[in-house]
Each structure stands twice: as C-alpha cells, then as structure tokens.
Amino acid sequence: MTSALHTQFLQKYGASDEPVRTFFAPGRVNLIGDHTDYNGGLVFPCAIDQGNTMLIRATHDNTFKLASTNFDLIAVLSKDQTHQKYGDQWINYPLGVMQQFTNDGINLQGFECLYSGNVPNAAGLSSSASIEVVTAFALNALFNLDYDLLSLVKLSQRAENEFVGVQCGIMDQFAVAMGRADHAMKLDCETLDCEQVPLPAGDHDIVLVNTNQRRELSESHYNQRVRETREALAMLKEALGDEDEHYTQLCEVSVSQLETHKAIFDQHPVIYQRARHVTSEHQRVFDAVAALRANDMHAFGQLMYQSHASLRDDYAVSSKPLDSLVTIAMSIEGVLGARLTGAGFGGCTVNLVHRSATEHFKAATAARYQDDTGLSADFYVIRPSPGVREINE
Ligand code: GLA
C-alpha cells in the first residue's frame, strides 16, 4: 500500500534527492470512560488498525505543501499563511501542530507531504488526533527536533485546543501515540499514569458500528459540556469551602460524595446530571478494568451498557441512531455490551461480541437499524494496535 502511495507522492511533487519518509498513526476507540478525560478521570481506549499514513520530504525552502489522497486539494502555503485557519478543511490539524512548534521557538523548514487515511471521518474514532499526532511525530523526526513522545502528545492536544478550537482532553492524542497491540490503556488523565492492560484474545470481538449519522454542532455541544462540568466543580468548591478545597478535578469527587452534596445543585439539575455522569463514569472505568483482569467479560459488558445509559440520560450526548444501535445490540444473543464511543452526537458504537456471534450480529443489526432509522450502518471488527511509528520498507 505504501509503495502505491510513494508513486502518488512522486506524481504530485516530482523526484528529488531528498528521501521520502513514511509515518503512520492509528485512530482509536474508547472502550469505556467518555467525557472523563477533561475532568481528570480515567479512560480506557485502544488504538485501532485503521489510521493515517503520511509521506513527507524536506524541500529546504519556505513553502509548505500539503495534500491528501482523500480530498482533491494541494495547499501550497508560505510561512505567513500557516498561521491562519484554512477554511474548515482537515489541513487545520497539521497547521495547528505547526503553529505549536513555532510557539516553542522552532523555525520549521519547508516540506511537502501527502496524507492518506482510512479512519472514517466524524465517526468518533479520532481521525483528527491521528492526523495531528502523525504530523507532530513526522516533523519531529524529519527535523530532529528532539521531543519525546509524551511532549508530542501534549503538543498535539494544544493544537486541537488552541488552533482548531475544541477544548478536548488528552485521551485521543495519547491513545493514538501510545497504543500497543492487543492491549487497551487504563489512563489517568490527571497524572498521565498509564497501564497497558492485555485484552483477552480468542473468544471476543470488538465490533464498531458506524451510525453514518451526520454530526451537527458537535464542537459547540462538546465545549458546552466542558463548561458545564467546570461549573459543577466550581459550585462544589464554593459550597464546601475549606472543607474540601483539595478538589481540583471533578473526578476526584466520588459518586457518594456527590450524592451527599446534591442539595448544592437544587437550582441546577442539569449541572448535577453532568457531574453524576462524570463521577460515575470514572468509577465504571475502574470497575471495568478490574472485571477484565478477573476475566469477567459479562461484568465488563454490563458496565458498557451502564455507560451508554449515563451518556444518554445524564450527559445528553447520544442520538436516536446511537440509541437504536445499542437497543438492537442488547437484544442479540452473544453481545456482552455496547455503548456510544468518543464524544457522541453521532459516530460509532463499540460492541463486545462473542466471536461465534459476530457474523449474525452484523447481519441482524444491519437490517434492524435500517428499518428503525432509514440509515445504513458500517461495521469494523478492530484489533488493538500499536501507536504512531515510522514505516521502513
Ligand atoms: C473527544 C475528545 C476527547 C474526549 C472524548 C469523550 O474524542 O477529543 O478528549 O473528551 O471526546 O470522551
């Protein structure tokens, strides 16, 4: 596949003495723990086998040429033009990364690059984090910038926060960079402690089902949820005064502590619900990883269902198509758990399915989902995969 891309690269940019280097970053799926990362909580994602390949070559001039096999466009930008947003194109992800290097005082030299991705867009599988991380990793390697991987993760998150304008947490960029084959990561988003947990091979499949629902206003709704949870934390801090001043993140508050202080939210029931989702979801990740370690896949699946209900009812980030897929999954024998994954508002569900039931699950879901919503679903059986890397052929 990469040799065909190499040919396309040369067709676009011509030959030169400089080597063309090839990098790859995966997408990710979050198995459980959504909307906890920006509240300092636990998440449990893994990198997937689909992702973005990036071919890049230094040009030693001050122009930046960016193209993708997925879209008909080559952006040819001078240094000044790299500081402005490029419409609402995918190019903003690499531009955001370049701006962060510039902010760090690095004077990037010219390059030409070609991206090719097979992560479905806007499906909650972090195609954008994948582009950011592959770009940061490639520029770091090409220009010997000497960043370690965690610094590239943080830089990519800042690109999304500051240039793209989504106040996301660190989960996506971290998972895309740090993935390991056949493992998922229990990541504490406050301390960045990360445990790679082996996923039991053999009996189960992780099946993603894409609603193919058009996501609308997801960025503004996402940022609104970030604000609501900050408000919940501020209200708790103010009401508790000195007593519990050590709270710096909502995920430090336990489910029972929140319940004890419920009266604080009497006039703000929605803020209370948001906080209840975040604190309970953090606990569910903890419980789910413990269940996995005890090889109790049934318990893991039940926690996935509970997570979906909480995201739907308390966090209000689900949608009719997502709910339809989860309801269908619950009724199919051999499915242990299902939930929306990622930010929500459309995108994919993640399903834990007995391998012997996977084909039936796909066929039955496809038909019933179409009847229910008029949409047709796509299915991907994924394998937890390694994170960002250079590909040497
Ligand atoms: C998006 C964000 C992540 C995370 C998830 C929800 O994917 O980029 O930081 O908040 O939503 O868990």
* Residue 242 pLDDT: 63
Atom of ligand 1 nearest to the CA of 33: 12
In angstroms, what is the span from residue 366 Cα to ligand 1's centroid? 27
Report the first-to-last Cα separation within the chain, whole angstroms: 11
Question: For 2-198, CATH number?
Answer: 3.30.230.10
* Residue 244 pLDDT: 52
Half-sphere exposure for 162 (CA within 13 Å, toward CB): 16
Residue among 36, 158, 168 whose CB has most ligand 1 atoms within 8 A, to mutate: 168
* Residue in this structure with the two tokens 């989902």, named with its chain if needed: 369
Atom of ligand 1 nearest to the CA of 168: 9
Q: What SS3 state is found at 22?
A: strand
Domain 204-382: which CATH class? alpha beta
Contact 222, 122 (CB under 8 A): no
* Residue 312 pLDDT: 98
* Residue 285 pLDDT: 98
Q: How far is CA 385 from CA 53, 72, 301, in A?
A: 15, 29, 21
* Residue 209 pLDDT: 98
Nearest-angstrom CA–CA distance, 27 and 337: 21
Positive or negative CA dihedral for 125, 129, 133, 134?
Answer: positive
| Max CA pair span of the chain | 69
Nearest-angstrom CA–CA distance, 160 and 177: 15
Q: Where in the chain is the domain with CATH 3.30.230.10?
A: 2-198
- The CA-CA-CA angle for residues 159, 160, 161, to 5°, reads 95
Give the pLDDT means over successive 10-residue stretches in the chain (393 positions).
89 95 98 98 98 97 94 89 88 97 96 96 92 98 98 98 94 98 98 95 92 81 96 91 75 94 96 98 98 96 98 98 98 98 96 98 98 97 97 85
* Residue 371 pLDDT: 98
Contact 308, 318 (CB under 8 A): yes
pTM value surpassing 0.85 = yes
Pocket of ligand 1 (CB under 6 A): 30, 34-35, 37-38, 168-169, 171-172, 342-343
